[in-house]
Amino acid sequence: MTPDLEDLYREIILDHYRNPRNTGELKSPPAIRTVGFNPLCGDEITLYLDIEGDILKDVKIDIRGCSISQSSASMMSEAIKGKHIAEIQQFIQSFKSMMSVHKAQLAGDETSTQGKLADNDPGEVDDNLDDDGIVEQTLEDSKLGELTALRGVVQFPVRIKCATLAWNTLIQGLEEVG
């Protein structure tokens, strides 16, 4: 079956695209400034993280990208702002697994996969299928909130990189803090 465009361009995605949240810059330093690229389409994101102790006090994003990369970045910023780093790491994990379910979904199967973010290879799939996927997925859904609107992206494998651009940049930024 060919995937439906409506699964991709959900209203909430278009809303975040039209009115992106937390855009702009933070003075760096003290903020951590990380630049990410999507080599496929040339999209660029600059992420500013203002971390105090173990809390992300503020986040700002400067992005030139498509509706998917921009809305994903915008929703991410809302989800992580003001949160503990440990909680943010959990978000990253949940988002990662949501973005790696596409093999299962393409096979018409509701199980989820766990694994790393499909970042470089658009066709990348994770073979590590988890039989308890269904339970896991609903748990994650409650955590992810409106970010689950991006679930439809997995049906469009080349667009996964768009959705994960901000997140990969976030991972990079957090690694810099150590």
Partner 1 sequence: MAQLDISSIKKDFPLLSQGGPGKKGVPRLVYLDSAATSQLPLTVINAMEHYYSTTHANVHRGVYTIAEEATRLFEDARLKVGEFINAPNPEREIVFTKNVTESINLVAQSWGRGNLKPADVVLLSEMEHHANIVPWQIMASQIGFEIRYLKITDDGYLILDDLKRQLDGVKLVGITLMSNVLGTINDISEIVAMAHDAGALVLADGAQFVPHLPTDVAQIGCDFLAFTGHKMLGPTGIGILWAPTDILDKMPPFLGGGEMIADVTLEGFRPTEIPWKFEAGTPPIAEAVGLLEAVKYLKNIGMSKIREHEIEMIEYTFDHLKKRFGDDLSIHGPKDAKHRGGVFSFAYKDVHPHDLAQILDSEGICIRAGHHCAKPLMRRLGVTSTARASVYIYNDFNDIVALGDGLGKVKDIFG
Torsion of CA 141, 143, 146, 150, to 10 degrees: -50
Binding mask 126-165 for partner 1 (x = CB under 8 A): ------------------------------x--x--x---
66 lies in the site for partner 1, by CB under 8 A? yes
- Distance in angstroms between the alpha carbons of the first and the last residue of the chain: 44
The answer to the question of residue 44 lying near partner 1 (CB under 8 A) is yes
Are the C-beta atoms of 139 and 90 separated by less than 8 Å?
no
Burial of 49-86, coded b for 16+ CB within 10 Å and e otherwise, reads bbbeeeebebbbbbbebbbbbbbbbbbbbebbbebebe
CB of 9 to partner 1, least distance (A): 5
Window of 42-50, 78-86, 126-134, 167-175 that interacts with partner 1 by CB under 8 A: 42-50
Question: What is the closest distance, in whole angstroms, from the C-beta atom of residue 63 to partner 1 in the complex?
Answer: 10
- Binding of residue 124 to partner 1 (CB under 8 A): no
**Residue ranges binding partner 1 (CB under 8 A):** 1-2, 4-5, 8-9, 14, 40-44, 64-68, 156, 159, 162
